[in-house]
Amino acid sequence: MESIQSFLATVPWWGWVLFFLFILFLRDIIQRKHTITHNFPIIGHIRYMLEKIGPELRQYIVANNREELPFNRSQRTWVYASSKKQNNYTGFGTDQDQASPGFVFINPTMLPYKPAPNHPNVTQVDLIPCAKVMGLYNKRKRPFRPKSIVNISAMSFGSLSAKAIESLNKGAKKAGCYHNTGEGSLSYHHQHGADIVFQFGTGYFGVRTPEGNFDMNKMVKLVNDYKYIRAIEVKLSQGAKPGKGGVLPASKITKEISEIRHVPMGKDVISPSTHTAFSTIPELLDFIEDIANNTGLPVGFKSAVGKLDMWEELTDLMVERNIGPDFISIDGGEGGTGAAPPAFANHVSLPFVFGFSQVYQMFKRKNLTDRVVFIASGKLGFPSSALMAFSMGADLINIAREAMLSIGCIQALSCHTNTCPAGVATQNKWLQAGIDPTLKSERFYNYAKTLRKEILEITHACGYEHPCQLEMTDVDMSMGDNNYTTTLRQIYNYEKVPVDFISMQNLIECEHLGGREDKA
């Protein structure tokens, strides 16, 4: 034994390296699972190493500022700089190809809007409440005017980490934004003071019976217990994977998630692709009314857009029965924060501009636009794209991935692997430990404030007081190589219905304004 130890002690370090390489060489030529390493022992591993770090190499070294998707480097840099209160300006003019098809131009006026000395935005440069009130037309007991036109879209605890949710909620409270829970139910991490939009999907997490059906008694209790829940959203589908359910593996169900979602531990939980509480459009309308009558809150739904026959049926019934959702979230097919099959993420459902324009025109034809608050989502967390949405008829913007970027997401594209290096989209305790909610909440607040401030500045440049006043002739789009632009009105062949707007001061004085300390 001593002689063996003596021999091992005399072997130099490079001898151990050669021994390891020899073993690896033998292993490579014997195995048949990987052709490359069999045919090219040892060297073949370099290929797999480069493939593994390929996204990072392209992100930081190969791709230019405008190449990457879903968010290019210039977009991410603007969010990062805004969230850190750094210089987010650009120098020496634009570096974008303004002749490329789909490039957005916002049309300024010769004489911009000038706020009076006592105007609220003179001191509060980013304060922009929603121009409409959720639930006012349908006479809900607790109508809701969101204090911010920019809010946090549906992202569940479980998909995002506890510290990420906490950071967003604390930042939303400071910014006056509402925070959509996502279909994973209301967790402790959502309860740091921001207004809440409670969302549930086909799994009815948090408001479900042991069999997995919707439980109205639990819904009523939740609303009564937590007064900062200001609206309820029924998720029909989302842009990333419309019409597809999901599986929550037993391995991911912690005691905390079990209690929040009202699901058993040690057993896979299936979210079906369809709802059990309703199966037709008339039943959906009855379901919405039932929830609204029992809770007193505005109730709406979220949906991606594809076939329009059920949208036609919905609007016809709204006219006929004089009931309907208080708000509708239109989610573009380009959206998505979690895991989705590539075929769904890439090809199922329309992008925001196409889906929204078709749905909005339908509501316009039937004189229903004033009854509904239209919420837009799908890569709209930038001033130009947000203003384009407002000019098309949107009333609010929901942001998801942009909010994640503001609290440290680096677009590692690993949301579906539980290995998010920034600790944002993972349940790994070690990876989450790097998130300081005090710091990150401030960064979301800075980003939301900067986004609203720039939206308002461009709105004033167009001659308006509030973004709701923008019309479809205020935005042009490049047609590409034919060297001309055309207005959104010409492209989509409709004009937005004017929103009833008096003044910014009038919105701020509204008794239903969100962001108040008294949520009763």
Asked if residue 120 and residue 24 are part of one domain, the reply reads no
In a shared domain, residues 118 and 29: no
Residues 226 and 275 in one domain: yes
The answer to whether the CB of 470 falls within 8 A of the CB of 109 is no
In angstroms, the CA 26 to CA 361 distance is: 67
The arrangement of strands across the sheet holding 485-487 comes to 104-106, 475-478, 485-487
Q: What is the structure's pLDDT at 109? A: 95
Bridge partners (DSSP) listed for residue 398: 151, 377
Same domain membership, residue 263 and residue 370: yes
Query: What does the alpha-carbon distance between residue 369 and residue 296 come to, in Å, rounded to a whole number?
Result: 22
- Number of domains making up the chain: 2
Longest pairwise C-alpha distance within the chain: 95
Residue 407 near residue 420 (C-beta atoms within 8 A)? no
Is residue 93 domain-resident?
Answer: no
Residues 198 and 324 in one domain: yes
- Asked if residue 198 and residue 52 are part of one domain, the reply reads no
Per the rule left: phi > 0, alpha: psi between -120 and 50, beta: everything else, 336 is left
Please indicate, yes or no, if residue 78 is contained in any of the structural domains: no
- The answer to whether the CB of 377 falls within 8 A of the CB of 330 is yes
pLDDT at 418: 78
Q: What is the DSSP string of 292-338?
A: HHHH-S-EEEEE-----HHHHHHHHHHHHHS---SEEEEE-TT--SS
Q: Are residues 37 and 110 in the same domain?
A: no
Q: How far apart are CA 13 and CA 4, in angstroms?
A: 17
Tell me the per-residue pLDDT of 377-390, one tens digit each, with 9 for 90 and over.
988 999 999 999 99
pLDDT, position 173 = 96
Asked if 29 and 122 sit in the same domain, the reply is no
Kindly report, residue by residue over 317-369, the tens digit of the pLDDT: 999 999 999 999 999 877 665 566 666 666 677 888 999 999 999 999 999 99
Is 383 among the domain residues? yes
At residue 430, what is the residue type?
A: W
Evaluate whether residue 94 is within a structural domain: no
Give CA–CA dist 396/413, Å, rounded.
27
Look up residue 94 and give its amino acid: T
Same domain, 107 and 40: no
The CA R_g of the chain, rounded to the nearest whole Å, is 26
Same domain, 178 and 238: yes
The residue segments making up the domain with residue 195 are 103-509
Predicted confidence at residue 338, as pLDDT, reads 59
Instruction: Report the 3 state secondary structure along 55-86.
Output: HHHHHHHHCCCCCCCCCCHHHHHHHHHHHCCC
**pLDDT value for 50:** 75
pTM: predicted TM-score of the whole model, two decimal places:
0.88
DSSP 96: S
**Residues 136 and 228 both lie in one domain:** yes
Residue 352 belongs to a domain:
yes
How far is the CA of 5 from the CAs of 10, 15, 16, in angstroms?
9, 15, 14
Q: Is 496 helix (H, G, I), strand (E, B) or coil?
A: coil
> The domain spanning residue 114 has which CATH number?
3.20.20.70
In a domain, 89, yes or no: no
3-class state of residue 231 by DSSP: strand
Residue segments in the chain with a per-residue pLDDT below the cut of 50: none
Give the end-to-end CA distance of the chain in Å, rounded to a whole number: 79
Query: Is residue 375 assigned to a domain?
Result: yes
Q: Are 197 and 231 in contact (CB under 8 A)?
A: yes
Pair 115, 21 in one domain: no
Measured at the CA of 72, the angle between CA 70 and CA 78, to 5 degrees, comes to 120
Distance CA 298, CA 321 (A): 18
- Give residues with Cβ within 8 angstroms of 121, minimum separation 6: 115, 127, 456, 504
Q: Nearest-CA neighbor of 425 among 171, 184, 81?
A: 184
Task: Output the six-digit token pair for 380.
Answer: 């709209």
Does residue 465 fall inside a structural domain? yes
State the pLDDT at residue 297: 98
User: Whose CA is closest to 305, among 372, 376, 245, 368?
Assistant: 376
